[in-house]
Structure 1
């Protein structure tokens, strides 16, 4: 009798121990919070402020409580640089321009002091992404100037920056570079630096010791042409990561353009084949989703997945959002052509 009772209870026990299914987004509310003649591919959330940086030297901050707006513009000589990278510490905001000359500015939290902290002149220079790990350590990466990715680091909170010499970095392949689509080519997780490339070769570069040594891993993302490969990546933690991209010249194609890793970027598995978005500009994990929920913006609209990228649901047709960041698991902010928007997701 005891054996029968135990067997009868076993399915109930297994059922009670089963992981609860992830709640899914059912709708989205869009609220425009900034409109201007500007292309924004770089945003960062800082407490109750959203900082943005874009073309024509323009940058700014939006108070997310009062909606009060601050606008700034940076010029050097007759140049108003295009900013596609932004990052923050507790003390300051940093914006980095693309193209020659590369200009990296430190902006004080009170917005009163703007200081040039790094400059690089080279006809090949083109920076794609920048992140800070904490109050002292930061990294920026860009396209190859020589035969390696262009990587600079700071150990003093962004006051000074040093280039990692090519002899300490992996060699790039012919036609391998990166895309400054949404400031998401570079991720810092604890002491790990993760960088993704694109173009004729699309790979994942990983350093587990803050840039002293590197490993390079192949990815299955479509590659082989100048405008193919990984355009965006995000890591939920040190192990679970997602890459997305495609062919910029064939934006509707949604095959071989998304992949997931569960071992920190060493191996990647294609998901969502012939499903969901085509060309991807920015992908982000939804907070508190255990690495299962993702949102992507790009050339075919805003798409959402609740099953680690296997299946996708289109939630917005808007093709002019380039970058997105989450404040919490139901509130995000996105930016793109001429505007910044608030996105409230409903479960």
Structure 2
């Protein structure tokens, strides 16, 4: 029995090594020096990015060529998140003071302001859509509760969620606008939300559960959450001031967030984004590189040391792209 088990583990290790060795990240020429934290991949060929200095980029040939623009009138706005629906239609989120949400239906030539908030404490963090009509945007706490606004008409209008219906947070608890992925919708009215800072918690449609991620400082906690149905979810984070630290930076739940398990061999540093790829495969990226797992998060392989803020899989396809600082854009490739 021992010999058979030993051989099985060796075989499994070889399979995982072969899988990770077959994956790498190709850095694409971006042509801009903006820092990108917004990334939306429509299909294998169509992707949009957004970031600092009012910059938005669009590619319809898999990142080989790009249309770049600085949104007129918003040249100083940091667009930390973007949701694209096709080659013509996208929504961008400007984080703060004032906070804006803009929409284009003509490939970025013109933008319509669909939401504005001039509260000096306003700071938007992330946005997610469950379908082309229903979306949500979240922001740092106001009056001790998570800021939330929803749309049911494809982002043409946004309605702020009443204060008493928003989750309450602890002092020093907030949300990182690091990759636009700390909020994920299950349905128009069901969400998974991960916080960070002095506390790191999981909110499942309002129900609050403490996360085992590192926490206690303003720079610690969860940065991203990804879903595999309603039962399985992955959270990543760490401390963005110690990018190489592997302490309590990744956990997975297979029972809908009731309990969490740490990887046997986790991601190799702070991770700002995690994405579910299919079957038992997930990918995560951060300031010191990219990790991938093919065994439901038990073992992660460091496949690139290129720095990225965000990684997203095509909504309609299998391509995986990355975006980060210094105009860096990448693509997952098989060797």
Taking structure 2 as the reference length, what is the TM-score of the superposition? 0.87
CA distance in 2, matches of 1:182, 1:98: 12
1:53-202 aligned at under 5 Å gives the runs 53-64=50-61, 67-76=64-73, 80-89=76-85, 92-191=89-188, 192-202=190-200
1:60 is displaced (CA, Å) by 1.7
Aligned residues: 314
1:165-244 aligned at under 5 Å gives the runs 165-191=162-188, 192-207=190-205, 214-244=206-236
CA distance in 2, matches of 1:173, 1:272: 31
- 1:122–1:145 Cα contact (<8 Å) kept: no
CA distance in 1, matches of 2:267, 2:69: 37
Taking structure 1 as the reference length, what is the TM-score of the superposition? 0.84
- 1:258–1:272 Cα contact (<8 Å) kept: no
The yes-or-no answer on 1:311 pairing with 2:299 is yes
Q: Residue 262 of structure 1 corresponds to which residue in structure 2?
A: 254
User: What secondary structure is seen at the aligned counterpart in 1 of 2:103?
Assistant: strand
Any idea what the Cα deviations from partners look like across 1:53-112, whole Å, max 9, x if unmatched? 0100010201125834212212437x5200111113467210001121101100114433
- Go from structure 1 to structure 2 and tell me whether the alpha carbon gap of 1:329 and 1:132 turns closer, same or farther (over 3 Å shift): closer
CA distance in 1, matches of 2:200, 2:63: 42
Q: Residue 269 of structure 2 corresponds to which residue in structure 1?
A: 278
Q: Residue 36 of structure 1 corresponds to which residue in structure 2?
A: 32
1:295 is displaced (CA, Å) by 1.4
- 1:34–1:341 Cα contact (<8 Å) kept: no
Any idea what the Cα deviations from partners look like across 1:292-327, whole Å, max 9, x if unmatched? 222111123111222222222111111x21111123
CA distance in 2, matches of 1:111, 1:330: 25
Structure showing greater radius of gyration is: 1
- Go from structure 1 to structure 2 and tell me whether the alpha carbon gap of 1:92 and 1:262 turns closer, same or farther (over 3 Å shift): same
Any idea what the Cα deviations from partners look like across 1:171-206, whole Å, max 9, x if unmatched? 110001010111111111234211111101111111
1:265 is displaced (CA, Å) by 2.5
- Go from structure 1 to structure 2 and tell me whether the alpha carbon gap of 1:110 and 1:76 turns closer, same or farther (over 3 Å shift): closer
1:342 to 315, 331, 334: 331
- 1:330–1:345 Cα contact (<8 Å) kept: no
- Go from structure 1 to structure 2 and tell me whether the alpha carbon gap of 1:160 and 1:29 turns closer, same or farther (over 3 Å shift): closer
Name whichever of 31-40 and 172-181 sits farther off. Answer: 31-40
Alignment gaps of 5+ in structure 1: 1-20, 208-213
1:33 is displaced (CA, Å) by 4.0
User: What secondary structure is seen at the aligned counterpart in 1 of 2:164?
Assistant: helix
CA distance in 1, matches of 2:200, 2:25: 35
Higher relative contact order (CA 8 A, sep 6+): 2
Q: CA RMSD in A?
A: 2.2
1:251 to 228, 240, 243: 243
CA distance in 2, matches of 1:233, 1:29: 21
